Structure 1
């Protein structure tokens, strides 16, 4: 990878409205969580005018509006104007109904993607960053050329070409249809109802983080959660870890059943969100060309065992922005330590082979460890000693069998059920 060089002090070339050949120091492809985070981090460092943020104008290619939750400092500059709710406490409900109240060491923070896009968009406009409505169709990055070239077209179908010293691709990864031998892939999929009740029903200071009372299909995990934003309003969501998502009728039936299990009073559904996030131990390279890197889910920001992504994407974006401004190659840091990825790989395999019942395993994790340790584990921040403590309480036989399987050549490993 060539030397990044110092970020030039001159602004990027500004094109006339009908110009389709543009130049930028940094072209950020995609305006989801990771793309917005990087553009915002550069703008906050005084490099906003050097950014071209490329977002497709096609609604069918954009992620629908959704909620991002993570353990964060709600006063972080990256979240300014974006925080929709903060919970200092959370409940975890086991498969049998046992409820634990957790005093969280770091608040659980809700960010709505639409609110975040508007808040970041205002900062980018003030910083002089360019937002281009472009559907990217190709990328050329040759070591023999001084800039990478991003090709696409605008909303009217006119061709657009952006030449950039660095390209950061934040679009979702394109995983192969078939899971490679020896690798494991699940999908974290969800549908949520934003509900409004006719009487007080929620505690705005406490989220129901995971409720494992929904039926648990073999080799899968299912749970509900309730994120209150007022005494009468909440996001009620059904989430599954499985090989395939449900259809619309399946989600609605699961949500109705969960609402009844949770004892919710009559409510109106005022909005709906839905999404899918891959959970996999397949390799996701962060560097894909001399001047092209990947960030966000495509750059490994999704925790394979939990599906959490947002906090890691923000951390990666801050590191990449710092490297660019300091004149270093903007290689995103590894989102999670190697030992955490190894632990995740084992847990994914134990889940899909049916050796470990996911709901009981996760509920037991909260029951047998301090909340701070579990939160740090979910966020990929535990120390080696904390990891050892967590592993000591894992089901020994199933996990040892999974370790033994992982020692086999990939072609000889057990195939998941179903």
Structure 2
């Protein structure tokens, strides 16, 4: 049977794509083994990364600035938004879509093979299953949800903390970790000890121990616990070359030095819808030469980050957040701003000491196995 656009995966990227395809009157079939599962993760982004079509019920908190700390606590004067995760999920309605509750075991061109033996054939298949398990640097975190009174002393008068590295160094050989604190709406706050990147990353038991030490003991009245563990790269280091068109974290939208991908997926979804509605390949729209180059630079940036010592890591991020906001924005949010990305990287390298500069340069020039060959040959399949 023909199913129009088949969206594989009903996470944030898949659901957003299906939602906007339906708004454009394009037939959609969504395939997911648990399409109605309630999302549990906390999602956040810089406020200027968001598209205008999102429903306000998708937001739990919107802050004008956010705190960061290397050796001292400062503020980044850039808006930050924390999603109401269930609200985001509800806002991305799928009215009119065919929902298939099944697991995909294979994609061959425009044909999708399901675990039950059924096969679907569409005009286009879009894989939105996230970064499927593969060998890559990972981000891990252990978080607790507490009330506002418990979070207040940690916040030190700030609305949220993006990165607080103070107390995150155990010794010269162990990976550092930082504290992330954000409001979740109502009276709830997330306090999360995070390992930004590691191969291997810190495990959850170690992060829980560090959080307990940082807080002087885990508080009473913990409402729930949040675990984070995901690869910092997509399943393919060159997503524009994949035979099946992938979107979201599956399609290389995860920033490998931050782990963020949801806002990029939301911002890019209409470009995909527009291309599919016009019968065009969306790959050239999403992956022009500048975007491929920025993606490769970010992978090299992750390679460099993994080589830094704990003290060098903190010095690196102090230099990063001391840059003008426009330079920060270019590196963190603008996936096709090659000039701005290179400029931001140059600023940081010039700001750190010579030893750190040398480590960053060696890491950026290396090509680890998990980063592939950093090539760029777009491919796309339509029925």
Structure 2 counterpart of 1:209: 162
1:237: how far off?
A: 0.9
1:251 aligns with 2:207: yes
1:311: how far off?
A: 1.8
- Residues 99 and 345 from structure 1, CA distance in 2 versus in 1: closer, same or farther, beyond 3 angstroms? same
Structure 2 counterpart of 1:188: 139
Tell me if structure 2 keeps the 8 A contact 1:29–1:170.
Answer: yes
Please report the RMSD computed on the Cα atoms of aligned residues, expressed in angstroms. 3.3
Structure 1 counterpart of 2:119: 161
Structure 1 counterpart of 2:193: 238
1:99 aligns with 2:73: yes
Structure 2 counterpart of 1:132: 100
CA distance in 1: counterparts of 2:179 and 2:56, whole angstroms: 29
Structure 1 counterpart of 2:32: 55
- Residues 68 and 404 from structure 1, CA distance in 2 versus in 1: closer, same or farther, beyond 3 angstroms? closer
Tell me if structure 2 keeps the 8 A contact 1:84–1:112.
Answer: yes
Equivalent residues in 2 for 1:376-415, closer than 5 Å: 376-380=330-334, 384=339, 386-387=343-344, 388-400=346-358, 403=361
- Residues 245 and 344 from structure 1, CA distance in 2 versus in 1: closer, same or farther, beyond 3 angstroms? same
2:61 to 85, 89, 98: 85
CA distance in 2: counterparts of 1:187 and 1:199, whole angstroms: 29
1:54: how far off?
A: 0.8
Residue 67 of structure 2 aligns to a residue whose secondary structure is strand
CA distance in 2: counterparts of 1:231 and 1:53, whole angstroms: 32
1:71: how far off?
A: 1.3
- Residues 340 and 285 from structure 1, CA distance in 2 versus in 1: closer, same or farther, beyond 3 angstroms? closer
- Residues 395 and 350 from structure 1, CA distance in 2 versus in 1: closer, same or farther, beyond 3 angstroms? farther
1:313 aligns with 2:265: yes
1:45 aligns with 2:24: yes
- Between Structure 1 and Structure 2, the one with more helix by share is 2
What are the ranges of 5 or more consecutive residues in structure 1 without an aligned counterpart? 1-21, 142-147, 178-184, 412-418
CA distance in 1: counterparts of 2:76 and 2:360, whole angstroms: 31
Normalization by structure 2: what TM-score? 0.80
Q: Per-residue displacement from partner, 1:20-68 (whole Å, max 9, x unpaired)?
A: xx42110000011210121122123232xx0001111399xx8961011
Tell me if structure 2 keeps the 8 A contact 1:87–1:205.
Answer: no
What are the ranges of 5 or more consecutive residues in structure 2 without an aligned counterpart? 370-383
- Residues 68 and 326 from structure 1, CA distance in 2 versus in 1: closer, same or farther, beyond 3 angstroms? same
1:349 aligns with 2:296: no
1:333 aligns with 2:286: yes
- Residues 312 and 403 from structure 1, CA distance in 2 versus in 1: closer, same or farther, beyond 3 angstroms? same
Q: Which moved more, 1:385-394 or 1:197-206?
A: 197-206
1:36 aligns with 2:15: yes
Tell me if structure 2 keeps the 8 A contact 1:204–1:231.
Answer: no
Tell me if structure 1 keeps the 8 A contact 2:148–2:187.
Answer: yes
1:220: how far off?
A: 3.2
CA distance in 2: counterparts of 1:233 and 1:407, whole angstroms: 43
- Residues 197 and 91 from structure 1, CA distance in 2 versus in 1: closer, same or farther, beyond 3 angstroms? closer
Aligned length: 355
Structure 1 counterpart of 2:88: 116
Tell me if structure 2 keeps the 8 A contact 1:53–1:132.
Answer: yes
- Residues 214 and 376 from structure 1, CA distance in 2 versus in 1: closer, same or farther, beyond 3 angstroms? farther
Tell me if structure 1 keeps the 8 A contact 2:39–2:89.
Answer: no
Structure 2 counterpart of 1:414: none
Q: Which moved more, 1:108-117 or 1:162-171?
A: 108-117
1:164: how far off?
A: 0.7
1:225 aligns with 2:180: yes
- Residues 159 and 343 from structure 1, CA distance in 2 versus in 1: closer, same or farther, beyond 3 angstroms? closer
1:71 aligns with 2:46: yes
CA distance in 2: counterparts of 1:64 and 1:295, whole angstroms: 18
- Residues 99 and 112 from structure 1, CA distance in 2 versus in 1: closer, same or farther, beyond 3 angstroms? same
Q: Per-residue displacement from partner, 1:120-143 (whole Å, max 9, x unpaired)?
A: 1xx321xx11222111112222xx
1:232: how far off?
A: 4.7
Residue 206 of structure 1 aligns to a residue whose secondary structure is coil
